[in-house]
Structure 1
């Protein structure tokens, strides 16, 4: 067969999120390690079988991870932070979980490794930690064991590994500063050993992912690529398919075309390639794998267009592969489960399993094994979508045209506003608050599900939610927090919940996607123009405010985050989608203010992740992203305090844009990185108020009073105390009430202690 097909990776959570539930059961000691291992094995076997049954030429192995594929490499090369090691104990699955989640060892808390976004996606990876005198060895043989499993089942196997250069790039130096590229000579031998083991098994192709090739890399890194793949190739008899994705690699062709590799995968969805000239770009000796099926969105592929383009490309290269643009990790697993969608709407979409089928159809038609009528049948719904009345809303389109610069700025500067707000809110120095959500118990989730399934009436549902809100307020007042929240018991997810009140979205029942570890999200799908159907949060915030004399903070999800954490439509620009969402949220913000809510938090954790990967494209994105936030937040009076929250990203890259948001208070994650962000403020004077998160809510560890005091004193070194707020680094929905109460007690006591220290100086 001249044209072969494969995928770069498959979702690993299981058809019904089996991995999530098994992990959480294991962590809570409800199942044994053997039980957990059995679940993982069953998922892998199911994934491989589906790939083979759908007609893929290679079954991808090594894409399964118990928590994260970057952490898999840390385990493979024995890169385990010292704080997570237990004497001479051999590393095992519990070691992996300690690194990812934190732990308590030898009577001390061991913080989890930092977690941040995987390039510009909504997936999080565990950041590798590097020290000057680090030693590595091949200590975790998951890739070999799983390859043996798949081979024993008779599959044609293509193992996949994250490449050594991308791995080092993603890591952070700890302790004494040094050039982390110096570690390469210690890590390459491990890769040589792994590839030699795979070669012994008569593997034909090994996929090595090096997505940093779509980034701007220096001459030093380019030279490192040449050296690395020369050394790797020496010990390897299997062929190497170097995989790139999330962009194009034009700017790095000077080294890509001279690497010691046998094949190259490129992303034709996110990359700007001229397919008619593609044969001239790359080394003629390389087998090309073309990423033509979008691995990051759920729309059906226009197979006819791709057939036409690829048929033309066959004039220049009659042997190549077709694939997904990137791993299918970023899309749900199986569309056939979605019986809540109408057949008309459902026919527009393609999930992970269906994308494998798209590859199979396209390759078979290209190879003359299937009639082109199959393609015509597949794409018929695409044309129906374009003419659907679900898509276009003239009222929304006209409102967009009427936006002016006045819609995107506050009446007065922060200097003026902050004085008004201080008088109005009367908060102490170092005001304490939380990010918004409180523990989502099984009872709360059952209540929402019963209401959704119409097992209880709307009145009973609302009465029950009000009882949860009352309890949240009582607990916060007992703790002594200064700014309270209603706790969000009515919300399933920070994006899906808001989207349910917006025209232009549709929702799945089983469209789960892994965010990190056992955390899965169910992104809504944007199918048309967006407007607010009805007020979203006003009733709950207004009710909560009546229960207390302390200020209640309302929480909204910002326009860029709703966009980035949804599957967007592809027929209009992301800028226009974001501004449509912003206009809908602007209505909500003004309604909250009118209801007497004086603090409104508009979360934008996705602002950084939406950045294009090439810096020369940043300004355009940041311009419309900031304007979208301003559009939804700037219509309020001076006395209304606007907050935003961001977590798990490199804030330094976008600090000027964060300033341009002109929020009154920003809360940010800093605890996992040991307040690393604060170093930035040595030379950068952030003009508004800021709350650097003082403890990591994703870890079961309870922060000590002394620990939080130290972080606060460190923060005061960099930021004037008058500008500082005190808060956890994220929402508390995943924690238990016991963990939450103990952690917040310590946070508040530490704040009281620091206030006394400062005031007595």
Structure 2
């Protein structure tokens, strides 16, 4: 995938009535706090003594997806997500839809937190679409472009017990082919912005070559106008940079606000040749960054890429924050981006990115 496709994949997300010459694409990583009543609806659906069935739960999920999509739209985001209202967990949700996986009960991962870690007990296979219905519903309730986050094959393999394949890499490559099939289904449904989530890469950075090979499988045959992003968080980026620049994606979504941008210099040499989705709000604190603080964070991104290659985003999914805090962070983030655009137009911001 060449850099010549970067401007084309980005321009399609610019609103037709955008008031400034400069455009900073604003979006979210994916997850968002679920309404409390949705969690209650799930409990009712699991209670055999309650007159609340799967159809009732589906209606509740639709309502939640509609509500959060509207919150993203109201906050002013250029590319929205439904907040992953239908997803329980980033691996479990997909494993439940892939042939070859099975579940044997929750595993303690840290503190008092448990994860229903799946096992690969047989050959994995694509059985049913994973996200197409979700995407079609979301596009039906908003006029904004819709981004689809999807858990990457390396994380799906790494965060599962492998009881069938010779090694984790072999499993990851098989899963990459399934992700490619799902993305093709999404593209047929009209999706033009897909984000591959690979948080496991940060914990095992030596496997970046496996992730790169997986992405080659994923990108195979995907039209050039479909924007592919890779989200990586919470790791030592110097162990995967500049190698990740060879991966066939348009955009890298990186968590940097939580570390107070201590790793920003990692990406200055060699030149960052792809688009950068910069985390500008910290999802690990309930403190709401002010518009001025976020503007300062956005401007840090211009040390790496010019404005036409900067996407503005939170560090990661905001699902663990109180909902009102998550919304205020999103609203301030968008306002900060719009103010920076105006200041860029007025020549009030000096852009000195490392590639100049």
Partner of 2:213: 627
Q: Which of 69, 73, 81 pairs up with 1:485?
A: 81
Distance 1:571 1:453, change over 3 A: farther
Q: Is the 2:288–2:325 contact (alpha carbons within 8 Å) kept by the matching residues of 1?
A: yes
Q: How many angstroms does 1:610 deviate by?
A: 2.5
Matched, 1:420 2:16: no
Distance 1:657 1:446, change over 3 A: farther
Partner of 1:469: 65
Q: Which of 307, 324, 328 pairs up with 1:721?
A: 307
Q: How far apart, CA to CA, are the structure 2 residues paired with 1:604 and 1:465?
A: 26
Q: How far apart, CA to CA, are the structure 2 residues paired with 1:715 and 1:519?
A: 34
Partner of 1:251: none
Distance 1:449 1:594, change over 3 A: farther
Q: How far apart, CA to CA, are the structure 2 residues paired with 1:598 and 1:697?
A: 26
Partner of 2:116: 522
Q: Which of 121, 125, 136 pairs up with 1:531?
A: 125
Q: Is the 1:532–1:584 contact (alpha carbons within 8 Å) kept by the matching residues of 2?
A: yes
Structure 1 residues 183-225: Cα deviation after superposition (integer angstroms, max 9, x where no partner): xxxxxxxxxxxxxxxxxxxxxxxxxxxxxxxxxxxxxxxxxxx
Q: Which of 678, 695, 705 pairs up with 2:281?
A: 695
Partner of 2:91: 495
Following superposition of structure 1 onto structure 2, how do residues 594-609 of structure 1 map, counting pairs within 5 Å? 594-609=188-203
Q: How far apart, CA to CA, are the structure 2 residues paired with 1:519 and 1:692?
A: 29
Q: Is the 2:291–2:333 contact (alpha carbons within 8 Å) kept by the matching residues of 1?
A: yes
Partner of 2:168: 574
Q: Is the 2:13–2:25 contact (alpha carbons within 8 Å) kept by the matching residues of 1?
A: no
Q: SS at 1:667's partner residue?
A: strand
Q: How many angstroms does 1:722 deviate by?
A: 1.2
Q: How far apart, CA to CA, are the structure 2 residues paired with 1:663 and 1:568?
A: 27
Q: Which of 658, 663, 667 pairs up with 2:253?
A: 667
Matched, 1:546 2:135: no
Partner of 2:270: 684
Matched, 1:643 2:237: no
Q: How many angstroms does 1:488 deviate by?
A: 0.8
Segments of 5+ residues of structure 1 without an aligned counterpart are 1-409, 612-617
Q: SS at 1:579's partner residue?
A: helix
Q: SS at 2:230's partner residue?
A: strand
Following superposition of structure 1 onto structure 2, how do residues 495-514 of structure 1 map, counting pairs within 5 Å? 495-514=91-110
Q: How many angstroms does 1:419 deviate by?
A: 3.4
Q: How far apart, CA to CA, are the structure 2 residues paired with 1:435 and 1:575?
A: 26
Matched, 1:435 2:39: no
Partner of 2:155: 561
Alignment length (residue pairs): 339
Q: How far apart, CA to CA, are the structure 1 residues paired with 2:180 and 2:27?
A: 24
Q: Is the 1:681–1:719 contact (alpha carbons within 8 Å) kept by the matching residues of 2?
A: no
Q: How many angstroms does 1:423 deviate by?
A: 4.2
By relative contact order (CA 8 Å, sep 6+), the higher-ranking structure is 2
Q: How many angstroms does 1:687 deviate by?
A: 1.0
Distance 1:531 1:481, change over 3 A: same
Q: Which of 335, 338, 354 pairs up with 1:749?
A: 335
Distance 1:570 1:502, change over 3 A: closer
Q: Is the 1:437–1:488 contact (alpha carbons within 8 Å) kept by the matching residues of 2?
A: yes
Q: SS at 2:77's partner residue?
A: coil
Distance 1:571 1:652, change over 3 A: same
Distance 1:681 1:622, change over 3 A: closer
Distance 1:681 1:757, change over 3 A: same
Q: How many angstroms does 1:729 deviate by?
A: 0.3
The root-mean-square deviation of aligned C-alpha atoms, in Å, is 2.0
Q: How many angstroms does 1:547 deviate by?
A: 1.6
Q: How far apart, CA to CA, are the structure 1 residues paired with 2:133 and 2:193?
A: 15
Q: Greater Rg, structure 1 or structure 2?
A: 1
Distance 1:657 1:751, change over 3 A: same
Q: Is the 1:531–1:583 contact (alpha carbons within 8 Å) kept by the matching residues of 2?
A: no
Partner of 1:592: 186
Q: How far apart, CA to CA, are the structure 2 residues paired with 1:598 and 1:491?
A: 21
Q: How far apart, CA to CA, are the structure 1 residues paired with 2:46 and 2:186?
A: 25
Q: Is the 1:511–1:522 contact (alpha carbons within 8 Å) kept by the matching residues of 2?
A: yes
Q: How far apart, CA to CA, are the structure 2 residues paired with 1:436 and 1:749?
A: 19
Q: How far apart, CA to CA, are the structure 2 residues paired with 1:426 and 1:694?
A: 20
Q: How far apart, CA to CA, are the structure 2 residues paired with 1:547 and 1:471?
A: 9
Distance 1:503 1:658, change over 3 A: same
Q: Is the 1:432–1:725 contact (alpha carbons within 8 Å) kept by the matching residues of 2?
A: yes
Q: How far apart, CA to CA, are the structure 2 residues paired with 1:693 and 1:554?
A: 18
Q: SS at 1:655's partner residue?
A: coil
Q: How far apart, CA to CA, are the structure 2 residues paired with 1:580 and 1:450?
A: 37
Q: How far apart, CA to CA, are the structure 2 residues paired with 1:528 and 1:601?
A: 27
TM-score (norm 1): 0.43
Q: How many angstroms does 1:715 deviate by?
A: 1.8
Q: How many angstroms does 1:452 deviate by?
A: 5.2
Q: How many angstroms does 1:561 deviate by?
A: 0.8
Distance 1:558 1:709, change over 3 A: same
